[in-house]
Amino acid sequence: MKLVDKLEKILYKVKNPVRYIGNEWNMVKKDWAEDKIKVALAFPDLYEIGMSHLGLKLLYHLLNEEEDIICERTYAPWIDMEELMREEGIPLFSLENKKAISEFDIFGFTLQYEMSYTNIINMLDLAGLPLYSKDRDEKYPLVIGGGSIVFNPEPIAAFFDIFFIGEAEDGVVELVRKYRELKDKALKKEEILFELSQIPGVYVPSLYDVSYDENGRIKAIKPELPGVKEKIQRQVVSNLDQAYYPTKMIMPYMNVVHDRAVIEIARGCTRGCRFCAAGISYRPVRERSKETIIRLADEILRNTGYDEISLTSLSTMDYSDVADLVKTMARRYEKDKVSISLPSLRVDRFSVNLAREVQRVRKTGLTFAPEAGTQRLRDVINKGVQEEDLYDAVQAAFEEGWSTIKLYFMIGLPTETMDDIAGIVDLAKRVLQIGEEVRKNTSRQMKKIQVNVSVSTFVPKAFTPFQWVAMDSKEVIEEKQKYLKEHLTDRGLSFSWNNPDLSLLEGVFSRGDRRLAPVIESAWRKGARFDGWGELFAIDKWEAAFRENQLDMSSYLRARELDELLPWDHIDVGVNKKFLRKEYKAAHAGELTRDCRQVGCTGCAICFDLDVKMELYRGDVNVN
């Protein structure tokens, strides 16, 4: 029986079968021809999560614009679908041509979250592939990983043949064609991997030997063969304005997490928040011109019919002349009832005023991220937000008619004390008081004021100034959460928090090493799936997996020495370690590092080491 027929037989039995049928508007389905290179792009989470990810969309359409490449998609099946697939002998398949993943040349994963690791090996198993790279020869698809968390890919290195480090727009087509060329020469897998390792940004874990000392710390990371580069340098798109961007995005049949037109207006951030991995790994800042952004918006709206455009970047409000851009777009599309959304707001009155301008069509809530409850701790993390700025911003928001404000904080930040936790309570109550005063004094009809406080647990990440710090223990996290639960009880305040066990496990993998691969496999064999989904996460499975492999979670959550060799030290993101050490010391001294846009170079060396300069949009562009 054909795979398509088997699918028709079971789809009516699963929840949300639309996740597995494909055939969406703007989907690219090519004739399955032997002379074409076949790439399966995978997102190790549900369809509705993966369909919201811009990077996957970009690669999908970029590859499909090449005549000699077929690119199709696959996502992690939910529990009900997985059970039926295993019962009926249905392998993991692509949505476009409903082909088994084993029929593709390349199986490429976009990796965004450490807690998707068990989904990755579950998808390898469903595809009929051996889990470990060493057990797959040249007859199997090449398994590639890329995305925001591959700057420390070591915990999952054993499962992947190669990783692409950095931004793939300029290198992925070359990589795909080079692999096909090598495969057509009937080379052995080891030979293929060596040749691919010569491509900039390509990391082949099997070509590097990692040794440990008697305490389990990294002793050395060395290439195993002559000609293998000692460091893998992150690849960067030098000119974002000229970079490829898709405008015929696939339109899903079901609601997805971010169901709107998305335009990346800039890449990178110079604010220098010391906890933020993305702020380091996407430097330098590169902006698209206003002219290009509006052209892309026009094409996307014409090709999709969306009624909302999200202007996205790590710090959208820092885009040069952002006010002119969003006002121009808001007025351009207002007659068609197309709204503009800004996913990240600065904590200031300017941002509120701009939000008012763009939300004339459709008003949504406002979120501000003070991150910490006291000014002392905000200075430690280099947040650059003054308390007066926050109060001024929320005052403006309430005066403009918003009645619901969300405040985002972290607990567990370096040097944090219970005074800082109490500061979260004080700040939230002051925001609520400001809202109630505005409501009392306004002449307009206004809903009851609601302040939603969301608190996550800080996780140290590789390539940040905090990559050396210890993570709070479970007991300390729970003590801080308990305090907040007991004190954020006023009417008009709500409090949400995350699972400490989940945060701690993320902390293990964010700074983990290669010894964790067997732990991931053990947890998966015990049934771990979709660990980022609260209803499925089971810490007992993971604790048993660590015991089986004689590893201690706490050893990965400890503080590191500043001169210690780290598992990711053979990867070069372009920001040098000297700068990160300087920022680490500045944090503990409570010293701020200003934005290099405003004060000039602060010494991260990204513009010099990668030879990619900051590209800011300047000047007025007339758009009819």
State mean pLDDT over 208-221: 95
Query: What distance in Å separates the CA atoms of residue 470 and residue 554, rounded to the nearest whole number?
Result: 10
Over pLDDT 70: what percentage of the chain? 97
Q: Would you place residue 621 in the very low, low, confident or very high pLDDT band (cuts 50, 70, 90)? A: very low
344 pLDDT more than 80: no
- Mean pLDDT for the chain? 93
H helices then E strands: how many in the chain?
22, 19
**DSSP string across 572-588:** E-SS-HHHHHHHHHHHH
Q: Where are the alpha helices (DSSP H) in 511-593?
A: 517-525, 539-548, 554-557, 577-588
State mean pLDDT over 536-540: 96
Give me the pLDDT at residue 361, please. 52
Q: Would you place residue 360 in the very low, low, confident or very high pLDDT band (cuts 50, 70, 90)? A: low
613 pLDDT more than 90: no
Give me the pLDDT at residue 183, please. 93
Among candidates 6, 170, 190, which has minimal Cα distance to 86? 6
Out of 3.40.50.720, 3.30.750.210, 2.60.40.10, 3.30.300.160, the CATH code matching 238-362+594-624 is: 3.30.750.210
State mean pLDDT over 501-509: 97
Query: What distance in Å separates the CA atoms of residue 123 and residue 118, rounded to the nearest whole number?
Result: 9
Query: What distance in Å separates the CA atoms of residue 149 and residue 192, rounded to the nearest whole number?
Result: 25
State mean pLDDT over 343-354: 80
Give me the pLDDT at residue 359, please. 66
Q: Quick one: 269 exposed, middle or buried, by C-beta within 10 A (0-12, 13-18, 19+)? A: buried
Domain with CATH 3.40.50.280 in the chain: 3-166+168-233
Q: Would you place residue 364 in the very low, low, confident or very high pLDDT band (cuts 50, 70, 90)? A: low
The model carries a pTM of 0.95
Among candidates 329, 336, 337, 335, which has minimal Cα distance to 358? 329
Token pair 């994963």 is at which residue?
109
State mean pLDDT over 403-417: 96
**Could you tell me the two tokens for 41?**
């792009």
Look at residue 524 and give its three-state secondary structure: helix
Q: What is the pLDDT of residues 419-446, one digit of tens each?
A: 999 999 999 999 999 999 999 988 777 8
Look at residue 555 and give its three-state secondary structure: helix
449 within 8 A of 492, measured Cβ to Cβ: yes
State mean pLDDT over 62-89: 97
Q: What is the pLDDT of residues 225-272, one digit of tens each?
A: 999 999 999 999 999 999 999 999 999 998 888 888 999 999 999 899
- CB neighbour list of residue 585: distance below 8 Å, 6 or more residues apart: none
Q: Where are the alpha helices (DSSP H) in 283-417?
A: 290-304, 322-333, 349-358, 375-380, 387-399
- CB neighbour list of residue 417: distance below 8 Å, 6 or more residues apart: none
CB atoms within 10 A of CB 448: 11
**DSSP string across 101-147:** GGGSSEEEEEE--GGGHHHHHHHHHHTT--SSGGG--TTSPEEEEEE
Query: What distance in Å separates the CA atoms of residue 512 and residue 216, rounded to the nearest whole number?
Result: 11
State mean pLDDT over 63-85: 97
State mean pLDDT over 271-276: 94
Three-class SS string for 403-420? CEEEEEEEECCCCCCHHH
Q: Would you place residue 341 in the very low, low, confident or very high pLDDT band (cuts 50, 70, 90)? A: confident
Instruction: Please give the distance of CA 538 from its chain centroid, rounded to a whole number.
Output: 23
State mean pLDDT over 375-385: 94
Domain with CATH 3.30.750.210 in the chain: 238-362+594-624
Query: What distance in Å separates the CA atoms of residue 233 and residue 564, rounded to the nearest whole number?
Result: 21
Query: What distance in Å separates the CA atoms of residue 152 and residue 510, rounded to the nearest whole number?
Result: 7
Give me the pLDDT at residue 362, please. 56
Give me the pLDDT at residue 620, please. 41
Give me the pLDDT at residue 619, please. 45
Q: What is the pLDDT of residues 308-329, one digit of tens each?
A: 999 999 988 899 989 999 989 9
Give me the pLDDT at residue 444, please. 77
**Could you tell me the two tokens for 452?**
């939603």
Domain with CATH 3.30.750.200 in the chain: 365-498
CA geometry: angle 43, 47, 52, nearest 5 deg: 80
C-alpha distances in angstroms, 20 versus 16, 90, 248, 252? 8, 12, 21, 11
Give me the pLDDT at residue 304, please. 93
Query: What distance in Å separates the CA atoms of residue 422 and residue 409, rounded to the nearest whole number?
Result: 12
- The CATH number of the structural domain formed by 3-166+168-233 is 3.40.50.280
For domain 365-498, give the fold.
Transcription Regulator spoIIAA (3.30.750)
Sign of CA dihedral 259, 298, 237, 105: positive
State mean pLDDT over 597-612: 82
Q: What is the pLDDT of residues 125-182, one digit of tens each?
A: 999 999 999 999 999 999 999 998 899 999 999 999 999 999 999 899 999 999 999 9
